Amino acid sequence: AQSVTQLDSQVPVFEEAPVELRCNYSSSVSVYLFWYVQYPNQGLQLLLKYLSGSTLVKGINGFEAEFNKSQTSFHLRKPSVHISDTAEYFCAAGIKAAGNKLTFGGGTRVLVKP
């Protein structure tokens, strides 16, 4: 069974500073990888996804992530955060052969301080 680990449950960061959210997955087969953002009392919005090809993936709102197969990681980064980036971020993995089932990490709460 696959698992997704988000190493930081909470990340405080000052406005305009960079942020990195760490995500590691465990799977012996090919996976799809996703980052979602959740604002309070809302559903999930897709930030970006890795399917294949280039290991550096760019998403919405200035976020990007890098797939590292040897380290089984998919860390999310943003060079300069805004107050509006305060939210919960979830990393998720899906096995290509298993269709649409996603396994989510525990989430990382980003708190952007002025």
Partner 1 sequence: GAVVSQHPSWVICKSGTSVKIECRSLDFQATTMFWYRQFPKQSLMLMATSNEGSKATYEQGVEKDKFLINHASLTLSTLTVTSAHPEDSSFYICSAREPSGTDGELFFGEGSRLTVL
Binding site for partner 1 (CB under 8 A): 32, 34, 36, 41-46, 49, 51, 90, 94-96, 99-102, 104-107, 109
The total number of residues written for the chain in this structure: 114
CB of 59 to partner 1, least distance (A): 12
46 forms beta bridges with 36
Number of Cβ atoms within 10 Å of the Cβ of 32: 16
Mode of pairing for the β-strands spanning 10-14 and 108-113: parallel
The nearer residue to partner 1, 81 or 89, going by C-beta atoms, is: 89
The nearer residue to partner 1, 8 or 15, going by C-beta atoms, is: 8
Q: Is 93 exposed, middle or buried (0-12, 13-18, 19+ CB in 10 A)?
A: buried
Phi first, then psi, for residue 61 (nearest 5°) are 60, 25
CB of 14 to partner 1, least distance (A): 23
Nearest to 95 by CA among 26, 24, 45: 26
The nearer residue to partner 1, 15 or 104, going by C-beta atoms, is: 104
CB of 53 to partner 1, least distance (A): 12
CB of 80 to partner 1, least distance (A): 25
The nearer residue to partner 1, 49 or 77, going by C-beta atoms, is: 49
